Structure 1
Amino acid sequence: MLIRLVQYLLCGITVATLAGCGGLDPTVLPDNAQISGTIFYSGAPWPDSVREVRVVLFQSQPTAPDSVLSAILRNTAVYTDTLRRFVEQESYSLTIPSPPRSFGYVVVAGRTGDNLLKDWHMLAVHTSQADPPVPIPVSVQPGDNVQVNFFIDFANLPPQPFN
């Protein structure tokens, strides 16, 4: 008898929960967005000095090495886990929390030394084809999956933002 009562109670709770949740509302947007793409490497062989590679999205272009740490601590920068090195191409995907958001400086960065804060170099910047190239902002809305591909030429790296 007690088992039957527990079964009825669980069934009633399940029905009440499903009836009160609104179901699958098509107007509810996802809480996140995605930025993904492929990084293509060419030019000179991979430099042995590159210790790690990441795609990093900054709200605005950093003006000094310290501003990179500040952007990370303030959550105005989003970055991938370490990506594979010594490959011809690598796919990446970033989950962007709390869209809508806009990123004014989108890069592939490589760390070349032991200093986790200051030994980063830009391997590629998402830019226009203008001369000189201008960074292209990337904006995302809830549920978006924006494609951003990078072409890295180790023989012709972009100007560095702090040098």
Structure 2
Amino acid sequence: MITEKKFPMTVAGKQKLEEELEFLKTVKRKEIVERIKIARSYGDLSENSEYDSAKEDQGFLEGKISTLESMIRNSVIITEDELNTDEVRLGKTVTFKELPNGDEETYTIVGSAEANPIEGLISNDSPIAKALIGRRADDEVKITTPGGEMLVVILKIK
């Protein structure tokens, strides 16, 4: 039996996925079905680019729905007990500074399902998170990224 991948996430992250899934099922599905219906009315399906496009979008949508359902089904919620620590962990927000004189950066470490670096949410699978997890404030940490190595000091964890 194949074990499905677990998706660690916060309660808010799971709720966001559930809301997206509901939107895709109730709104986007209906929109695509309507597009297919309209495209069919144009006649010959073998030369109907609107129909082909709508069917392609339908396939993509169903794949996205399936992925979200799997992520929700296999979610592992980060508990408050796991957050009540002074170590960097999943669900914690970490501020660090690149040494010797870099700018401060702040990220919240989340599961891959919630990651959005533009919003400051980095995956626990990312090189930065992997290097920081288990560390404490004032620790100096060497982080190896695809862009090279950097040395940082952890300023605060919350």
Same fold (TM over 0.5): no
Q: Between Structure 1 and Structure 2, which shows a larger proportion of strand residues?
A: 1
TM-score (norm 2): 0.21
TM-score (norm 1): 0.21
| Max Rg structure | 1
